[in-house]
Amino acid sequence: MHRYKILIADDHAMVRDGVKNLVRQSKEYVVIGEASNGRQAIEQFETLAPDLLILDISMPELNGMEVAREVLNKNPLANIIILSMYDDEEYVSRCLEIGVKGYVVKNESGSELEYAIRSVLQGKNYFSRQAQDVIFKKYSHAVTKKKQREELIRLTPREVEIIRLIAEGLTSQQMADKLFISPRTVETHRANLMKKVGVKNAIELVKKVQQLELI
Amino acid sequence: MHRYKILIADDHAMVRDGVKNLVRQSKEYVVIGEASNGRQAIEQFETLAPDLLILDISMPELNGMEVAREVLNKNPLANIIILSMYDDEEYVSRCLEIGVKGYVVKNESGSELEYAIRSVLQGKNYFSRQAQDVIFKKYSHAVTKKKQREELIRLTPREVEIIRLIAEGLTSQQMADKLFISPRTVETHRANLMKKVGVKNAIELVKKVQQLELI
DNA sequence: CCCTACCTACGTAGTTACACGTACGAAACC
DNA sequence: GGTTTCGTACGTGTAACTACGTAGGTAGGG
């Protein structure tokens, strides 16, 4: 019978034992190795070729994220779950960027990790609720900020139309042809827009608008 | 004893009953009204002034999101939870933008809604796991796409430097002064950048780079 | 009826960007 | 030792943008 091979890296034996116990409950998984620092984790990953690597985020030598980055550099398809004490936004974002498949905050229940393991081995991502929360907050902050700024700078419908075309890279002449107005009118709108937004050329204008529009 | 007043709007009596039952289990809440369409929901909200409005997303007359928008327009501090069959990305995003405090997918367990009610009345937001998932996916897609594209279009360090300055709205002359190089050199870089990225002017260039950089 | 906001349009003059090239030295890579 | 990549630099001509104005018509609200 095939069992998924799991490698655990954490500098606290107690945590490793906890994970081992959890994993042992299911016949589908087997822990084939342990590491207590980042350097070891990388070495063992290469010799043991596990199906899943569970990494504590804080370890001596190399921390979990650094290990993840190195492992994923050589093996982009590696399955990695990060265990962390913190649901720090910076950590979560960076883990996402690095490409780890799971992020579990330690104070969640054990079943959280269990579920994460199952999901990741099925090819899905699993970021625990708290980890998602931080991204969610980031996102909703962005959305509300967007609204606030939209209210600060009020553009007329025509101006919105114009600025979209500017952002698409059209010249005044092209916009004029498209809107059946004089290129001079387009330039007036452009000038008004720049004045409203408080910038001094079209480049900054587009940049500003891009920022307000969605980011 | 003070009880939080709740107004329920859903076109299915069964759902309303379900919610009522759920709410009745706690002495802290009381359902003070029901509506079976969007128009009614708004009217009742204004006459009853509930502490919390639970809105089904699909209703005759006005749907839940439209109701939410109207109510929040007049009363920006209103507490609103949206109930939905779908974890559609579009819905979730729009609800966030509108400013609802909670979004619960109906096939989640009842305790999900219970928790949402509690959270929202405590002043927190609550978007159920599935709803967060869509935002999460959106975000992680963005992150991985960013990485992919970064690899597709490889810029030299100097080019990165130049493009940042372009994005700040500097003219070629200003960049030249800043970098102690000829303005013609700056223009060469600019031209190379436009060629690499595949656009035809600085505006599009900045727009493109903005997109790749974070969104 | 007045006032404000909006869309429209123009003039002049100066600045900047863009397209099309070419070219050379340094460093890195094969 | 050749090739590629990168950063540097220039010329010329056209197109586009920007700054500074002015100004008429229309729709809506007070």
B206 to A206: CB separation less than 8 angstroms, yes or no: yes
Assigned domain for B87 exists:
yes
Same-domain check for residues B184 and B126: no
pLDDT the model gives residue B112: 82
Please report, for the domain that includes residue B104, its CATH number: 3.40.50.2300
Chain A residues near residue B77 by CB distance under 8 angstroms = none
Assigned domain for B141 exists:
no
Nucleotide D1 C1' to residue A6 CA (A): 51
Average pLDDT across chain A, whole number:
85
Among the partner-chain residues B133, B143, B206, the one whose CB lies closest to the CB of A96 is: B143
Q: Can you tell me the distance from the alpha carbon of B129 to that of A128, in angstroms, rounded to the nearest whole number?
A: 9
Stretch A15-24: mean pLDDT, rounded?
90
Closest to B116 (Cα-Cα) out of B22, B27, B40, B5: B22
Q: Can you tell me the distance from the alpha carbon of B19 to that of A138, in angstroms, rounded to the nearest whole number?
A: 31
Of A34-38, A115-119, B145-149, where does mean pLDDT reach its minimum? B145-149
Same-domain check for residues B29 and B95: yes
Same-domain check for residues B159 and B129: no
Domain count, chain B: 2
Assigned domain for A200 exists:
yes
DSSP A57: S
Please report, for the domain that includes residue B205, its CATH number: 1.10.10.10
Q: Which domain holds residue A162?
A: 153-213
Question: Which of B133, B207, B212 best probes binding to A when mutated, by most A CB atoms within 10 angstroms?
Answer: B207
Minimal Cα distance from A199: which residue of B? B169
Assigned domain for B147 exists:
no
pLDDT the model gives residue A72: 84
Same-domain check for residues B60 and B126: yes
Q: Which residue has the higher pLDDT, B126 or A29?
A: A29
pLDDT the model gives residue B151: 55
pLDDT band for position A11 (cuts 50, 70, 90): very high
Domain limit, last residue, from B135, B163, B196? B135
Burial class (CB in 10 A: 0-12, 13-18, 19+), A23: buried
Interface contact B203, partner A, CB < 8 A: yes
Domain limit, last residue, from A102, A135, A168? A135
Statement: residue A142 has pLDDT above 70: no
Same-domain check for residues B29 and B125: yes
B136 to A132: CB separation less than 8 angstroms, yes or no: yes
Same-domain check for residues A97 and A170: no
Q: Name the residues in B91-150 having a C-beta closer than 7 Å to nucleic acid strand D.
A: none
Count the neighbouring beta carbons within 10 Å of the beta carbon of residue B160: 11
Same-domain check for residues A85 and A40: yes
Minimum CA–C1' distance nucleotide for B183: D9
Same-domain check for residues B47 and B100: yes
Chain B residues near residue A127 by CB distance under 8 angstroms = 136
Question: Which of A112, A203, A208 best probes binding to B when mutated, by most B CB atoms within 10 angstroms?
Answer: A203
- The length of chain A is 215
B169 to A200: CB separation less than 8 angstroms, yes or no: yes
pLDDT digits (tens, 9 = 90+) for B155-179: 788 888 888 889 888 989 888 988 8
Which of helix, strand or coil describes residue A95? helix
Q: Which residue has the higher pLDDT, B193 or A209?
A: B193
Minimal Cα distance from A215: which residue of B? B215
Assigned domain for B140 exists:
no
Same-domain check for residues B122 and B162: no
Same-domain check for residues B157 and B105: no
DSSP B64: H
CA atoms lying within 13 Å on the CB side of residue A12 = 11
Assigned domain for A148 exists:
no
Instruction: List chain B pLDDT tens, one digit each, 215 residues.
Output: 688 999 999 999 988 999 999 888 888 999 999 999 998 999 999 999 999 999 999 888 888 988 998 888 778 788 999 999 877 878 888 888 788 889 998 877 767 888 899 989 988 788 887 787 777 777 777 666 666 555 556 778 888 888 888 988 898 988 898 888 888 999 998 988 888 888 888 888 888 877 776 55
pLDDT digits (tens, 9 = 90+) for A72-110: 877 878 999 999 987 787 888 888 878 888 999 887 776
A140 to B125: CB separation less than 8 angstroms, yes or no: yes
The encoded tokens of residue A40 equal 């070891």
Statement: residue A215 has pLDDT above 60: no
Of A140-149, A156-165, A193-202, B174-183, where does mean pLDDT reach its minimum? A140-149
Assigned domain for A81 exists:
yes
How far B164 CA sits from the closest chain A CA (Å)?
11
Q: What angle do CA B146, B152, B156 make, to 5 degrees?
A: 95
Q: Can you tell me the distance from the alpha carbon of A165 to that of A174, in angstroms, rounded to the nearest whole number?
A: 9
Alpha carbon of A40 to those of A74, A83, B62, B145: distances in Å?
16, 17, 60, 32
pLDDT the model gives residue B117: 92
Same-domain check for residues A53 and A82: yes
pLDDT band for position A9 (cuts 50, 70, 90): very high
Assigned domain for A169 exists:
yes
B169 to A136: CB separation less than 8 angstroms, yes or no: no
Same-domain check for residues A31 and A61: yes
Domain limit, last residue, from B135, B169, B200? B135
The encoded tokens of residue B57 equal 């997303």
pLDDT the model gives residue A32: 94
